Amino acid sequence: MMSGSDNRGRRDAFQPPVPLEDRLWRHPSELGVYADTGPRVILRKRPAMSRVLVAAAMGLIGGSVIGIGALVASGSVGQNSTGSTVERIAAPIARTATVDELAVAEAALPSVASVRVRGPAGERTATGVVVRDDGMLLTNSDVLDAADDITVTLDDGTAYPATLVGRHRGTDLGVLDIEANGLPVAALPDARLDEAVAFGDSVVLVNAASAGDGPQVSEAVVSGPSTELPAEALGPDGGQGGTPMYGMVEVRLEPDATTNHAGGVLLDGNGSVLGIVTARTDGDDAARYATPFDYARQVYRQLMDSGEINTADLAVAVEELDDATADALNVSGGVVVSPVAAPAPDGLETGDVITAINGADVNDLNDSVTEVRRYQPGDEVDIAVVRDGAPVTVVTRLRGAPGVP
């Protein structure tokens, strides 16, 4: 990834691809062919969103255009293979206000799988999605706790024993490997999350945790394109691991759309994966939260490379900015640098209010985390701060922060 010094002040700056041997997705100019074959399972249609909610979504949706990417890997053989992969980019398609959820789900279904886990806590199920055609899948991390036996059942009904490659609690993502080749691979938007999804967009949730009875399909509306899900909101015990999650896509379902809480795959109107729905819950039957595709891809690559996560992090702790301080400084939002030992690293000082990172606005803690994690440990970024009432820009080198496995 480019360092912050090469991308200052621009959210949409061009970033050249890293060397092919260092990554799993090639440059979009290397086009591949995707064959969608195999039988379909029968879908059970859930109640459609109310016309009032859809009308509200239509009023909120802008006319932005997104590009759709499909990941199609080559037929490498062997567990944890790192064979070459090819990326296919479709023509830009305008965002639509409503979707045909069954048509969207059917187009994506060949890459969606049911994951069944057995362990001391009994049997648990989740939804997986194929991200490489030699048998690599993304699923929920928490479902994999103390797993003794993992089985993946594909769309065509074929079942495979699976091996855990790695997992990350901070995103509730796990990577599984099955010994299969030539699998259909999920399509991903060729954009940042904030360019691919907006408040009010209609989306589709597919849950294959109970694949024996057909995947559950529900239409939903995006109610938070980048949302913090705090640890205390994750169920009565704070969720497994009590780990907060940032940059989550929040969607709202129709109250009687009883899709279960065992994760799922979130799709846009074109059938591309917007995110992996967490198996955690905040107790609201109408709400679901998904780790966005752009960060899921980053987590996947790191888990494939080393089985561990090492994300970029500011060299200081930050906390939310209260309204009184924001009013006094005449800023609309930001985060405050917590007390640190003097001198603070990389020019930041206690009490600095961070308002932007490399030109991207920072309004709250969620923004600060999601912006920083777009970079790599060791990258330098420009930090815009308000210090003693005056705007100041400092250059900060990001550190590494190991993730909780």
Of 278, 306, 334, the residue at which a domain comes to its end is 306
Task: For the beta carbon of residue 393, count every other beta carbon within 10 angstroms.
Answer: 12
* 324 and 283 co-located in one domain: no
Is this prediction's pTM over 0.75?
no
* 52 and 191 co-located in one domain: yes
* 75 and 201 co-located in one domain: yes
Of 285, 306, 327, the residue at which a domain comes to its end is 306
* 96 and 222 co-located in one domain: yes
* 193 and 324 co-located in one domain: no
Instruction: Round to whole Å and give the CA distance between 26 and 31.
Output: 9
Of 271, 289, 306, the residue at which a domain comes to its end is 306
Torsions phi, psi of 202, nearest 5? -85, 135
Three-state SS letters, 202-267 = EEEEEECCCHHHCCEEEEEEEEEEEEEECHHHCCCCCCCCCCCEEEEEEEEECCCCCCCCCCEEEE
Strand partners, 119: 122
Which uninterrupted H or E stretch holds 309?
none
Taking only the tens of pLDDT, the chain with its 405 residues reads 333 333 334 334 444 444 434 434 333 333 333 333 333 333 443 444 433 333 333 333 333 323 323 322 333 323 333 333 333 223 233 334 466 888 888 889 999 999 999 998 889 999 999 999 999 999 999 889 889 999 999 999 999 999 999 999 888 999 999 999 999 999 887 778 888 889 999 999 999 887 566 788 889 999 999 999 887 765 544 444 467 889 999 999 876 666 666 689 999 988 999 999 988 766 677 889 999 999 998 888 888 888 888 888 888 889 999 889 899 988 989 999 988 655 556 678 889 999 999 999 999 999 999 999 999 999 999 999 999 999 999 998 998 877 666
Domain count, the chain: 2
Instruction: Round to whole Å and give the CA distance between 262 and 359.
Output: 37
Residue 229 sits in a domain whose CATH number is 2.40.10.10
3-state SS assignment for residue 143: helix
DSSP assignment of 28-74: TTS-------S--PPPEEPPPPPHHHHHHHHHH----EE-EEEEEE-
Instruction: Round to whole Å and give the CA distance between 210 and 123.
Output: 12
Q: End-to-end CA distance of the chain, in Å?
A: 23
Instruction: Round to whole Å and give the CA distance between 253 and 259.
Output: 9
Q: Which domain holds residue 354?
A: 310-402
